[in-house]
Amino acid sequence: MNKIGISIIGTGNIGYKRAKSLPKSLEIISCFDIDKKQRDQFAIDFNCKACSSIKELLNNKEVSAVIVSTLHDTLSEITIQSIIAGKHVLVEKPAGLNSNEIQNIIYHQKKSQKVVCVGFNHRYHPSIMKAREIISEGKLGEIMFIRGRYGHGGRVGYDKEWRSFPEKGGGELLDQGPHLIDISRLILGDFANTTGFMNTFFWDMSVDDNAFMILKTKEEKCAFLHVSCTEWKNMFSLEIYGKIGKLDIKGLGGSYGVEEIIHYEMQPEMGPPPSKKWIFDENDKSWFKELDDFVYNIQNDNLESATLYDALAVHKVIEDLKKNTKYDNY
């Protein structure tokens, strides 16, 4: 089977992660970044062409698909350019600054009939996949609520980086928030009611460094979520509560700690439950699994699998939260 030619726009940290995680069915043809030194080094590292413009990159007929891993404020614009040029696209979350930008991508995707997926790689972490398997087998019973926490501690000068500027799509709610919202929605369903509190506690910036969310479905299943960049020790925690059991997920590998999931199974007599633990200490393969799924969608013309509508749902939750909060910068 011939390889699919792919280009990467945005050769920063995420671009490198994507390039290092390509399935064998993909071949990097070219790259682009506004930072010439960075794109040239990327081209050397991955033996591809460093393009001087996005137009040059998209005009290459060898390129069938594009990964867009730029800053939040350029994601939707570059995605639409790529779709119009006849390319399949995987765009990093949140895919745009707001729901209007996602709606615009959807409009062009429908016209083009190209596969467009949003990079929610956390869906492909082994603990999340195991959790969904356990839930689908009915081992938790009816799901009642979720409690999730996701945070990092920033670094010196973090308040001067792009994530500190609202016009660039900064702030914790739009940065780490989409991952927790997306996973919670996958498990609980669409959210009908949202309340929250966003604040800037520590960093000298005009966006939130902490966001607290209470999201409820029509059936009043609840997700209680907190994202933070004042979490001095990087952490990820997701607890899923059913009527006959609980799942406790911790870690994402690397600085977030070893990834694991514990299943606590409630007994008829209640009391302390027996548990079973799975530990996933291998390297993070979520990036590879997501790209492999992207390739499958392209090869099978699987347009309906695209996560654009999931990204749209996430943005609508975020926008509802912004309307309902008294945080001055929203």
Report CA-CA distances (Å) from 204 to 99, 207, 255: 28, 9, 24
Query: Which element (helix H / strand E) includes 163?
Result: none
Contact assessment for residue 114 and residue 87, using Cβ atoms and an 8 Å cutoff? yes
pLDDT reported for residue 303: 75
pLDDT reported for residue 301: 84
* Secondary-structure class of domain 122-286+316-324 per CATH: alpha beta
How is domain 4-120 classified at the CATH fold level?
Rossmann fold (3.40.50)
Q: How far is CA 291 from the centre of its chain?
A: 13
Q: What is the pLDDT along the chain (330 residues), one digit of tens a residue?
A: 589 999 999 999 999 999 999 999 999 999 999 999 999 999 999 999 999 999 999 999 999 999 999 999 999 999 999 999 999 999 999 999 999 999 999 999 999 999 999 999 999 999 999 999 999 999 999 999 999 999 999 999 999 999 999 999 999 999 999 999 999 999 999 999 999 999 999 999 999 999 999 999 999 999 999 999 999 999 999 999 999 999 999 999 999 999 999 999 999 899 899 999 999 988 889 999 999 999 999 998 877 666 899 999 999 999 999 988 866 665
Q: How far apart are CA 319 and CA 330, in angstroms?
A: 10
Report CA-CA distances (Å) from 151 to 208, 232, 259, 286: 13, 8, 15, 19
Contact assessment for residue 63 and residue 84, using Cβ atoms and an 8 Å cutoff? no
pLDDT reported for residue 324: 83
How would you write 15-83 as a 3-class SS string?
HHHHHHCCCCCEEEEEEECCCHHHHHHHHHHHCCEECCCHHHHHCCCCCCEEEECCCHHHHHHHHHHHH
Contact assessment for residue 224 and residue 140, using Cβ atoms and an 8 Å cutoff? no
The two tokens of residue 305 are 């699998």
Neighbours of 202 (CB within 10 A): 16
Contact assessment for residue 240 and residue 134, using Cβ atoms and an 8 Å cutoff? no
Q: How many CA atoms lie within 13 A of 192 on its CB side?
A: 7
Q: Are strands 143-151 and 235-242 parallel, antiparallel or unpaired?
A: antiparallel
> Taking the domains of the chain in order of start, what are their residue ranges?
4-120, 122-286+316-324
Model's pTM, two decimal places? 0.95
